[in-house]
Amino acid sequence: MSTTGFDLVVVSNRLPVDMQQDASGAISWTRSPGGLVTALDPIMKGAEGAWVGWSGAPDFAPEPFDADGTFLVPVPLSEGEIQRYYEGFSNDTLWPLYHDVITPPAYHRTWWDSYRAVNERFAEAAVAQAAEGATIWVHDYQLQLVPALIRQLRPDVRIGYFHHIPFPPFELFQQLPWRRQVIDGLLGADVVGFQRRSDATNFMNCVRRLTAVKPRTNIFSVHSDNGARRLVKAAAFPISIDSHSFDRLAHTDAVKKRAEEIRSDLGDPDVIMLGVDRLDYTKGIRHRIKAYGEILEDGRIDAASTTLIQVASPSRENVKAYRDLRQQVEILVGRINGEYGEIGHSTIHYLHHSYPQDEMAALYLAADVMLVTSLRDGMNLVAKEYVAARHDLGGALVLSEFTGAADELGGAILVNPHDIDGMKDAIVHAANMPSAEARRRMRRLRRKVMHDDVNKWAHNFLASLEDIGQRNEHNGAYAPTVTSAAEPVPAGSTAGGAS
Ligand code: G6P
């Protein structure tokens, strides 16, 4: 580590590594797969970067260490904090609230207290690593208070925040008893990035309704403590994947061979359909399987020559809504397999596991139809991975309108997952798509995904932050944020309703 601190500090709930412990208790770390790590890797190394985040285990925060050129700084979370800050406020309050209240959010004051305390810890850990005038880039809904907390501690740094999930309309956000604190937290950043323009618009609308700041364009000013005005930019930066490395992986002989093996292991069906999701109620897994079951029942596709592979990776299993979903999905899969399966052929292969990237690439290459049917999704990177893997221009993508990816991926067959009949038609169309149409669509999809990769995303965000940062420095505006003296309370306010 440099004695003066790092020029770039990334802050996210989880560190970009997975911890393993062998039988002797020895600990090792492997880099987690995923675009964010890959995208930031060269930037972090070039900029003397540090990454601040949780190890993933309770009460476990070893000394900071160097991993592959990035300095990793573990932040401890106790068992109680995992329950209240992570499983509770992050994943049982904010997650459902920000995903169209698909399940009801729970509002508990003890969860909020823990969220605030943990956000303070992350902010302190981040500033401890930052050099004078450094850039600190905060990620996602678990850490929305961190931008303003950092600004209070260190008015000299540039602060970016990127929101990976949807940002809700005011009419839903309004439910949150701590709505004003969350907006103030985010306004501590110079640039607040979202997946879609509609998320940025929703955010600005919440700023307008809840504070004295009235943004008229997506660059607007807030008061600084030193009396100057500081610019804040709210804009869309749709995230992507490391498309080229995915494409290269799907070109390897090992992956191509594995794709053939998967097909033959399944008994060489005419059509392989694929769903790949964290087992999350936002993903529309039940809607998809219901539609698939009805298509079999209607006889529009032949159960004997069709297979649906559903990879559902385990997620947030201590949260009740996730346990309930698992049960519902497994009952549904069991029912359809019972009805349409034969000895030696299941019509749904349900896999409650996570797989390494090369296996995923092989599954994508083997799948004739990819089903992404989220009820709400910030972006959905699985859709982009599927496209990046299909260098053969094969396969068809059925994609929910309720994903950020739908704004970008014009070549997909767009569906409304609530409209089961419409989704059935789209799935049947995808399964029978003439190859000329499939190739035309995939070519169009690939043009987009290969061009706009995660590297470009990170550069765009950081360039925007540099621009706003320079303008703020020039105006002498770097000081703690105070947005207004009083909160205009909208009609029908629910503030104070926490239990
Ligand atoms: C979403 C969120 C991420 C989160 C991931 C996995 O993609 O945007 O912030 O890390 O889900 O969820 P988990 O709760 O396991 O970190």
Q: Quick: pLDDT tens for 279-320.
A: 999 999 999 999 999 999 999 999 999 999 999 999 999 999
pTM of the model: 0.94
Q: For the residues 443-466, what does the mean pLDDT come to?
A: 97
Residue of 278, 318, 384, 403 to test ligand 1 pocket, by largest number of atoms within 8 Å of CB:
278
**335: which DSSP letter?**
H
> Would you say residue 31 has pLDDT above 90?
no
Question: CA–CA separation, 438 vs 423, rounded Å?
Answer: 18
Is the pLDDT at 478 greater than 50? The verdict is yes
- Tell me how far apart the alpha carbons of residues 342 and 336 are, in angstroms, rounded to a whole number: 11
| Residue 153: per-residue pLDDT | 97
What is the whole-number distance in angstroms between the Cα of residue 269 and the centre of ligand 1? 34
Distance CA(429)–CA(313), nearest Å, equals 28
Q: Which of 164, 184, 190, 452 is catalytic?
A: 164
Ligand 1 touching residue 164 (CB < 6 A): yes
Token digits of residue 159: 């602060």
Whether residue 492 has pLDDT greater than 50? no
For 243-451, CATH number out of 3.40.50.2000, 3.40.50.2300, 1.10.287.130, 3.40.1010.10 equals: 3.40.50.2000
pLDDT beyond 60 at 497:
no
- Residue 150, both tokens: 């950092």
Q: Which one of 15, 99, 140 would you pick to mutate in the ligand 1 pocket, going by the greatest count of ligand atoms within 8 A of its CB?
A: 140
Per-residue pLDDT, 114: 98
Q: Which residue has the tokens 């797989």?
A: 355
Tens-place pLDDT, residues 164-222: 999 999 999 999 999 999 999 999 999 999 999 999 999 999 999 999 999 999 999 99
- Domain layout of the chain by residue ranges: 6-239+454-474, 243-451
The one catalytic residue among 41, 377, 452, 453: 377
- pLDDT tens digit sequence for 223-252: 877 778 999 999 999 999 999 999 999 999
Cα–Cα distance, 228 to 231 (Å, whole number): 10
Is 377 one of the catalytic residues? yes
Contact (CB, 8 A) for 273 and 307: yes
Share of the chain above pLDDT 90, in %: 85
List pLDDT tens digits, range 313-372. 999 999 999 999 999 999 999 999 999 999 999 999 999 999 999 999 999 999 999 999
**Which ligand 1 atom sits closest to the C-alpha of 140?**
9
pLDDT value at residue 34: 66
Per-residue confidence at 44, pLDDT binned at 50, 70, 90?
Answer: confident
* Banded pLDDT at 67 (limits 50, 70, 90): confident
- List of residues 6+ apart from 78 with CB closer than 8 A: 58, 59
What CATH code is assigned to 6-239+454-474?
A: 3.40.50.2000
Reply yes or no on whether the pLDDT at 30 is more than 90: no
* Alpha helical stretches, state H, 376-451: 381-389, 420-431, 435-451
Q: Are 358 and 389 in contact (CB under 8 A)?
A: no
| Backbone φ, ψ for residue 236 (5° rounding) | -90, 135
CA of 338 to the centre of ligand 1 (A): 33
Which ligand 1 atom sits nearest the alpha carbon of residue 315?
15
User: Mind listing the pLDDT tens digit for each residue in 253-265?
Assistant: 999 999 999 999 9
**Is 298 considered catalytic here?**
no
What confidence score (pLDDT) does residue 485 get? Answer: 42
